[in-house]
Amino acid sequence: MSIMELQAMEVNTSLQTVSNGGSARNETAESNSAGDFELSDRPTPINQDVSLHQASLPSCSQDFPQIFSPQLGSVTINPRTSMVRLSSSNSTNINSTFGATNLTGVFLPPINSSSNNVTSTPNLPDPFTTLLEESMLDEISLLDLAMEEGFSQAQASQLEDELDSDSGLSLDSSHSPASPSSSETSCSSAASSSSTSANFSEEGAVGYSTDSEVAAVETEEGAVGGYQPEYSKLCRMSFQDLSQFHGLPQLDSISHNHTYNVPLSSTLSEQPDLPLSGGKKTTRDKKLQPSQDLLDKHSSRDERRARAMKIPFSNEKIINLPVEEFNELLAKHHLSEAQLALIRDIRRRGKNKMAAQNCRKRKLETIINLEQGVQDLRRNKARLLKEKMEFIRSIRQLKQKMQSLCQEVFSQLRDEEGRPYPPNEYCLQYGSDGSVLIMPRGGMTAQQSRKPEKKQKDKKK
DNA sequence: GGAGGGTGTCATGCC
DNA sequence: CGGGCATGACACCCT
């Protein structure tokens, strides 16, 4: 961006004539350190040896910003017999900045280029053309990528409009063009995930809940209705902590019987073949008599089995007691083998039930976290795309500025006969010693048209 | 009545 | 080696 300072550069068109070519050569050597641009002038033959040697350009590998160092302060035309000096008020040494850089492409405006139109870009020679071409290609690929990401044509143009606005605002997630619709949805779920995750972290293990409790939860869900995103799934699982239901009047009617030791009714005794373990819910399980329905409506199968087998303690104890206490509990009671087997199955199933609940909860959390990660990556991608577009725009502006500067430089240049140097025949070349040479473009063509002479390095100063 | 989601349970592997 | 946890798979239930 420092090249913009050149816009205010005061160009001194005073012509300094050096009568002695040899002295001019010496002067060139001395003035190189000043960083002035020296342009060989006619009719002095251009020193092809020197200029071509200096034409070797490592330039393309140079960092782009360095090309536009503010140290570029003055332009001096110093032919063998005459020197055109274009100087600014603050001439500085550009040597350290430019190094051995070929300015041929940089300073040479496109042939017949009288405007700063961007369309003239392809005419710019290396290295600037390379940069610009890369920019344009990147821009194309950028837009392609944007399209690939779901950009519509309008959205892509809108993105460019936003870039032109110089707002500097980063794309917010809600404005992410990558996935407008999904972004909304996922953002909501992502936002919910944060609170949900926090809830989980505090919640810890779900804890064993009876079917009656689950039924209460399902009753609560029924009041909500409709599809619920992952948040509702997690809430559903979290709600199995009954403490969260305190104060919910609609749940007051649900009685939670955790005693499980209610004497078994005749109904269960009528089902002696009730499997002790395994087996899915069968229609037989549901064929309870009306009075039993009230009792077992919210009881799990294991609870009913426990009552059927007259287990003298609750399923909650069976499941949640530590192993030692559990074994002590079993030792305190004289239990049959069938009862012991059922108790162990109840404990196993109860723990596995909690494990399954936790497993599913973790799975949902993982999904939500992954969705959050996708959203974060999309936002980051959109931000990078915007930055890239801004860089492309900056390069475009710099290119236009450079073109105008090149035109200005060539408009000031005159050979010994007062003829201007056609930009399409000559180009500027920057030497490693800080000198700037004007060289015929394309070698012989310009020389043939202007009685080519060998350029002398010392003369260029 | 089928689809989809939730839940309980089993089997299995791992610690 | 037994207990417990994690998880895929399956069946069942509900909406």
Q: List, in order, residues 6 or more apart from A355 with CB less than 8 Å away.
A: none
Element (H, E) at A430: strand A426-430
Contact A159, A389 (CB under 8 A): yes
Length A277 CA → C6 C1' (Å): 21
Tell me which nucleotides of strand C come within 7 A of a protein CB.
3-9, 11-15
| The nucleotide closest to A219 (CA, C1' atoms) | C14
Protein residue ranges contacting nucleic strand B, Cβ under 7 Å: A 209, 211, 214, 217-218, 228, 232-233, 236-237, 240, 277-280, 300-302, 345, 348-350, 352-353, 356-357, 360
Q: CB of residue A278 closer than 7 A to nucleic acid strand C?
A: no
Q: What is the pLDDT along chain A (461 residues), one digit of tens a residue?
A: 343 333 333 333 333 333 333 333 333 333 333 333 333 333 333 333 333 333 333 333 333 333 333 333 333 343 333 333 333 333 333 333 333 334 444 443 333 433 333 333 334 344 444 444 444 444 444 444 444 444 444 444 444 444 333 333 333 333 333 333 333 333 333 333 333 333 333 333 333 333 333 333 333 333 333 333 334 444 444 333 333 333 333 333 333 332 322 333 333 333 333 333 333 333 333 333 334 444 555 577 788 888 888 888 888 889 999 988 898 889 888 888 888 989 999 999 999 999 999 999 999 999 988 988 999 999 999 999 999 999 999 999 999 998 888 888 888 888 888 888 888 888 877 778 888 778 888 754 444 444 433 333 333 33
Length reported for chain A: 461
d(CA A119, CA A133): 12
Beta pairing, strands A15-17 & A426-430? unpaired
**Buried (b) or exposed (e) across A59-72, using 16+ Cβ within 10 A?**
beebeeeebbbebb
Q: What is the pTM of this model?
A: 0.43
Q: List, in order, residues 6 or more apart from A304 with CB less than 8 Å away.
A: A268, A274, A285, A296
Residues forming beta bridges with residue A426, ordered by sequence position: A440
Residues forming beta bridges with residue A429, ordered by sequence position: A437
Q: List, in order, residues 6 or more apart from A277 with CB less than 8 Å away.
A: A341, A342, A345, A349
